[in-house]
A = this chain, B = another copy of it.
Amino acid sequence: MKQIVAQPLTQDAFAPFGDVLHASGSPDKMINQGLCGRHHDKARMDFGPDGRAGISIFNAEKRTLPYTLDLVERHPDGSQAFIPMSLDPFLVIVAEDDGGKPSNIQAFITSPGQGINLLRNTWHGVLTPLGSPGLFAVIDRIGDTPNIEEFPLEPMLVTTE
C-alpha cells in the first residue's frame, strides 16, 4: 500500500492549503491591561456571495496512526476552519488539485494549540483527531447549497515515519 509520512504542521508548508491558527510569534496587540495577547485575524475566510459564517461543534471519533486514507473531500462554496477544543494533536491531510482531481497528497500532525483554516475548495481528509474527546469548533459556510465534493482514493497508509 502506498505510504505517506505525516510531517509537523508549519505555516510555510501549509500556506498553499490554508492557515495555521496559533499563538506564534509576538501578538499583534496586547489587550486587557497587558494580560492578553491578540494574534489578529489569522484566517483567510471566504463564504462567497450567498453564504455566511457559522460556528458548529464537531465531535469526532479518535483515530490512530498508521491511518488508512481512502477519501478526500472539498467544499466549493467556502473556507472551513477547525479549532481543537483540547490540547491533543490531530491529523491534517490535504492535497493539491489537478484538473478536478486530488494530487500530491500531504499529511501533517498539529502541535498542541494549533488550529487550521482550509481555503475554499481545498481537498482534505475528514476530521481525524488523535485524542479523545475529538471536540472541534468549526467555522464554515452556512448556506443552501450541498457545498461538498467527495473523491474516493486507492487506500494509502499515513504513518509517522
Interface string of A31-75 (1 = CB under 8 A from B): 111011111111101000000111111111100000000000000
CB of A49, distance to nearest CB on chain B (Å) = 13
Chief secondary structure at chain A's binding surface: strand
Contact (Cβ within 8 A) B113 A133: yes
How many copies the complex holds: the figure is 2
Say yes or no: is A117 at the interface (Cβ < 8 Å to chain B): yes
Interface string of A93-126 (1 = CB under 8 A from B): 0000000000000000000010101000000001
Contact of A59 among B37, B53, B54, B57 (CB under 8 A): B37
Contact (Cβ within 8 A) A56 B36: no
Contact (Cβ within 8 A) A41 B54: yes
Interface string of A124-145 (1 = CB under 8 A from B): 0011000001110111001000
Q: Which residues of chain A have a CB within 8 Å of any CB of chain B?
A: 21-23, 27, 31-33, 35-43, 45, 52-61, 81, 83-87, 113, 115, 117, 126-127, 133-135, 137-139, 142
A-B contact pairs, 11 of them (CB 8 A): A21-B55, A33-B126, A35-B126, A36-B134, A38-B58, A43-B54, A45-B53, A55-B83, A83-B85, A115-B137, A137-B137
Known contacts A37-B58, A39-B58, then 18 further A-B pairs from the complex at CB < 8 Å, ordered by chain A residue: A21-B55, A21-B57, A21-B137, A23-B59, A32-B127, A35-B60, A36-B60, A36-B61, A36-B134, A38-B57, A38-B138, A40-B56, A45-B55, A55-B117, A83-B137, A85-B85, A113-B133, A139-B139
What 4 A-B pairs come out closest when comparing CB atoms?
A36-B60, A53-B53, A43-B55, A41-B54
